[in-house]
Amino acid sequence: MAKKAVIAAAALAVATSGAQAQGEPERLDAAASDPAKMGWMQGSPPAADKMIRLEDLGHFTFPKTRWSFSNYRQFTRSIGVTRGDMAVVALPRAERKDIDAIHFTPLGGTQPMTWAQSLSANYTDGIVVLHRGSIIYERYFGVTTPHSQHIAFSVTKSFIGTLAASLAAEGRLDPDAPVTRYVPELAQSGFGDATVRQVMDMTTGIAFDETYTNPNADIFRHALAGGFGPRPKDYAGPEGLQAFLLTIGKKGEHGERFTYRTANTDALAWIVERVSGERIATLLEDRFWRKLGMEQDASMQIDGTGMVFGGGGLMPALRDMARFGEMMRNGGKWQGKQVVPAAAIADITKGGGKTEFAKNGAYPTLPGWSYRNQWWVSHNDHGAYSARGIHGQAIYIDPKAEMVIARFASHPMAGNVAIDPTSIPAYEALGRLLVGEKGR
Amino acid sequence: MAKKAVIAAAALAVATSGAQAQGEPERLDAAASDPAKMGWMQGSPPAADKMIRLEDLGHFTFPKTRWSFSNYRQFTRSIGVTRGDMAVVALPRAERKDIDAIHFTPLGGTQPMTWAQSLSANYTDGIVVLHRGSIIYERYFGVTTPHSQHIAFSVTKSFIGTLAASLAAEGRLDPDAPVTRYVPELAQSGFGDATVRQVMDMTTGIAFDETYTNPNADIFRHALAGGFGPRPKDYAGPEGLQAFLLTIGKKGEHGERFTYRTANTDALAWIVERVSGERIATLLEDRFWRKLGMEQDASMQIDGTGMVFGGGGLMPALRDMARFGEMMRNGGKWQGKQVVPAAAIADITKGGGKTEFAKNGAYPTLPGWSYRNQWWVSHNDHGAYSARGIHGQAIYIDPKAEMVIARFASHPMAGNVAIDPTSIPAYEALGRLLVGEKGR
């Protein structure tokens, strides 16, 4: 990689990692970093110190992220995922007043915290909780509103995984087939001898370095190929995500252990498009946005060739993300109609290999979990499973409690390992409350 | 301008002008250039000969434009103009079967043409006609659908002009004030001694070359500043439309004659933002999209600083463009409520200086017309007025016939001088039919 490209990638690395650099003043808390109070992008034009630009990675730099994540489409090319003409299916309201006061103990902590406190600890931008399909709790912070198309980051993966699982349940996609049956171009890449199932469950042994402190890491080559960050002037890398996937090598064996690599989802999105003969945005419209009475259009980040960023580019409204979760909770049914095959939902909720997941060792906040069809499965006594994106994006489905949580956040840290301690026990505590169980 | 920049601008010039280069094979007609049949952007990824990319100006090159104009947001950064939660106000249907057979004689022609023939002559992508608020005619072609957010190009200007006229009618904006009262930064530019009225009516004497055959023309410097075309690697020009406006000089006197220059609208958008304290996208939402029962969200092209392209960046759905026209036709009322001040509409429909317009000499298809508040006013016996964008975008309002026409098109030629001959007489003929007048 040429020198300038390395510098650009290094800048992207620092911005994306959320790591606190040496000598940096202590990071602002949620109240101090409130994006409405900080005045980002106010003024015509905004003053230099209020401006957020892709070109200097401002959209990926805390605390500007507290504004940019709610306005993400301004920093990227995108395609519409439109709701069409279906009437909005309103979510009934049955708000509860006892949720803010729920107490729980953060993972690894000793002091109790309330649900209300967790929202600022987590830099929550918006959160909605459904119980039996009714909104029992809903809050927005900063510049986020019910109309915001907030970036969902890797929550996107679970939408792609649900499409793939649906095609499998319909008999159109064979998970046991080699990926090359559907995308022959991948033969020469590290995916060449992987199965679709290994891609779906992220057990491929591809050489894809997602280490955010390494400026040459593949995750940054990926971002440059997609055009998601400013390219160095001498950029000569692949154009688009599909061209990028062809450059990925192999490292280790397929099928042995879970390793979270965004490239798997981009490969899966490619497979889904080849199998269905449709572009991903059209599938999201035809199968979800035009079927679930969504109240807002969504946007999807695309690269310079028109390919969506299946690994992390969806920008939905919060309540629509909750509607999707509610359809999942109901076994794929919505308003009495089967929207996603029941077999697809069952294949997700049963979970993946716990052994392969445990081998990874990088998920201390997720003991006993597994990964299946791009969903994170808890295997807890409520059967909870989740869609998860960096900086705190989440759909959390608790079948036993008949509960769905959708959350947007702009936590300074990218990894959910920093966010789970004050999230997962809060969600579990609310789930227990809803089924009348006592706290642990 | 450095050599590479000149080459890039020259490419943009040729692509934008729609001029047929010497030796080029005869241009495809509407049927032969049907974008659905040509298969643009089909496949995952599209084959090289089916790919449309910003980087090689494909999105601005005929016949690819027949696809890209209906999918324009994929080629630019954009901001949402969202409809919010208001219930859709459905447009009643009263479709007439006699419209396709209307005969008219094209301007400058001798042979009659039918309305139906005019649609392909004009490379129409979509057209809807309202009579007394009901849809009497609606057609879509190629890849354009009722959900397409088609680029409206300079039809955008009339939305900005209506915002400005509204602020004037509300007493918040003084058209007779110098522009520098609202945007002091413009003092050193060619706008420095102009009034707001001169900007609104495009009678400024700024030095802004919009000659598409000159690669150094300001219109290309404008596009590069906005980031709307691929920038040369050595680009060192202004960043964003507002910074660009500051580089415009003066040529001639203000107030003497109408000269159509996109920069005026960008300056007006800046003034409107300063006066209102709101960004344009928010104003479009609060005053139109969330008030008119729009059925779709719209998108608005933005530059790298978040400023909208007021001169040509709006991407609305066709029926929503018609709803806006219908509100205008009703003197600013919609569903019994005054949405735009009646005085603003009256100030638009009375028209501008016919003398200043005639001095221009560049509009043989618009004899006796004038330009007021970013609208084109016919002064014909029906009192018709129009919003007009390159390649055939239009809103045409005929008050006497109680008719509103909204049209999207992707004509190979940019200038409406090539499109008016088969459009304006067709619209006039339909207007006469609706009021029971005989043909001329």
Query: Helices H, strands E: what count in chain A?
Result: 15, 16
Q: Are A232 and A8 in contact (CB under 8 A)?
A: yes
Find the CB nearest A44 among B74, B274, B302.
B274
Coil, strand or helix: which one is A135? strand
Looking at residue A13, what is its pLDDT? 46
Residue B157 vs residues A199, B374, B376: alpha-carbon distances, Å: 49, 6, 11
Mean pLDDT in residue range B5-12: 46
> Which residue in the block uniquely carries the two structure tokens 């559907």?
A182
Min Cα separation A80/chain B (Å): 8
CB–CB contact B74 A302 (8 Å): yes
List the catalytic residues of B. Answer: 154
Nearest to A295 by CA among A94, A82, A124: A82
DSSP symbol at A289: I
Give B86's Cβ-side CA count (13 Å radius): 19
CB–CB contact B55 A233 (8 Å): no
Count how many residues are written for chain A.
Answer: 440
Dist CA B227 CA A77 (whole Å): 12
Q: What is the tens place of the pLDDT at every residue in A339-385?
A: 999 999 999 999 999 999 999 999 999 999 999 999 999 999 999 99
Find the CB nearest A305 among B53, B147, B273.
B53
Give, for B116, the enclosing helix (H) or strand (E): helix B115-121
Contact list, B79 vs chain A (CB under 8 Å): 71, 73-74
Q: Which of A40, A42, A44 to mutate to test the interface with B (most CBs of B within 10 A)?
A: A44
Looking at residue B16, what is its pLDDT? 46
Residue B359 vs residues B195, B203, B256: alpha-carbon distances, Å: 20, 11, 9
Mean pLDDT in residue range B192-196: 98
The residue type of B41 is M
Min Cα separation B50/chain A (Å): 11
Residues of A with CB under 8 A from a CB of B: 41, 44-46, 51-55, 71, 73-80, 82, 84-85, 147, 149, 233, 240, 242, 270, 273-274, 279, 295-297, 299, 302, 304-307
Contact list, A270 vs chain B (CB under 8 Å): 44
Q: Are B345 and B332 in contact (CB under 8 A)?
A: yes
Coil, strand or helix: which one is A417? helix
Residue A23 vs residues A8, A332, A345, A436: alpha-carbon distances, Å: 22, 50, 48, 48
Looking at residue B219, what is its pLDDT? 86
Is the pLDDT at B11 greater than 70, yes or no? no
Contact list, A41 vs chain B (CB under 8 Å): 306
Mean pLDDT in residue range B14-35: 69
CB–CB contact A297 B270 (8 Å): no
CB pairs under 8 A between A and B: 89
CB–CB contact A74 B273 (8 Å): no
Angle formed at CA B31 by CA B25 and CA B36, multiple of 5 degrees? 105
List the catalytic residues of A. Answer: 154
Nearest CA in chain B to A243: B45
Find the CB nearest A233 among B71, B233, B240.
B233
Dist CA A176 CA A421 (whole Å): 36
Q: Strands (DSSP E) along A287-392, which ranges?
A: 298-301, 314-315, 333-334, 337-338, 370-372, 375-377, 385-389
Query: Each residue's pLDDT tens digit in chain A (440 positions)?
Result: 444 444 444 444 444 444 444 455 578 999 999 999 999 999 999 999 999 999 889 999 999 999 999 999 999 999 999 999 999 999 999 999 999 999 999 999 999 999 999 999 999 999 999 999 999 999 999 999 999 999 999 999 999 999 999 999 999 999 999 999 999 999 999 999 999 999 999 999 999 987 767 778 898 899 999 999 889 888 999 999 999 999 999 999 999 999 999 999 999 999 999 999 999 999 999 999 999 999 999 999 999 999 999 999 999 999 999 999 999 999 999 999 999 999 999 999 999 999 999 999 999 999 999 999 999 999 999 999 999 999 999 999 999 999 999 999 999 999 999 999 999 999 999 999 999 987 55
According to DSSP, the β-strands at B385-389 and B393-398 are antiparallel
Percent of chain B, pLDDT > 70? 93
Dig out the tokens for B41 from the structure: 């952007």
Q: What is the tens place of the pLDDT at every residue in B51-89?
A: 999 988 999 999 999 999 999 999 999 999 999 999 999
Q: Which of B41, B42, B44, B318 to mutate to test the interface with A (most CBs of A within 10 A)?
A: B44
Count how many residues are written for chain B.
Answer: 440
Is the pLDDT at B14 greater than 70, yes or no? no
Min Cα separation B77/chain A (Å): 5
Nearest to B437 by CA among B102, B137, B133: B102
Query: Mind giving me the DSSP string for B176-215?
Result: TSBGGGT-GGGGGSTTTT-BHHHHHTT---EE----TT-T
Contact list, B55 vs chain A (CB under 8 Å): 304
Q: What is the tens place of the pLDDT at every residue in A260-300?
A: 999 999 999 999 999 999 999 999 999 999 999 999 999 99
Contact list, A273 vs chain B (CB under 8 Å): 44
Find the CB nearest A45 among B149, B295, B305.
B305
CB–CB contact A78 B74 (8 Å): yes
Residues of B with CB under 8 A from a CB of A: 41, 44-46, 51-55, 71, 73-80, 82, 84-85, 147, 149, 233, 240, 242, 270, 273-274, 279, 295-297, 299, 302, 304-307
> Torsion angle, CA of B167/B170/B171/B172, rounded to 10 degrees?
-40
Complex ipTM value: 0.93
Mean pLDDT in residue range B295-308: 97
CB–CB contact A82 B147 (8 Å): yes
Domains, chain B, ordered by start: 103-158+299-304+311-435 (3.40.710.10)
Dist CA B237 CA B243 (whole Å): 9
CB atoms within 10 A of CB B25: 6
Percent of chain A, pLDDT > 90? 88
Min Cα separation B379/chain A (Å): 36
Give CA B51 to chain center in angstroms.
26
Looking at residue B6, what is its pLDDT? 44
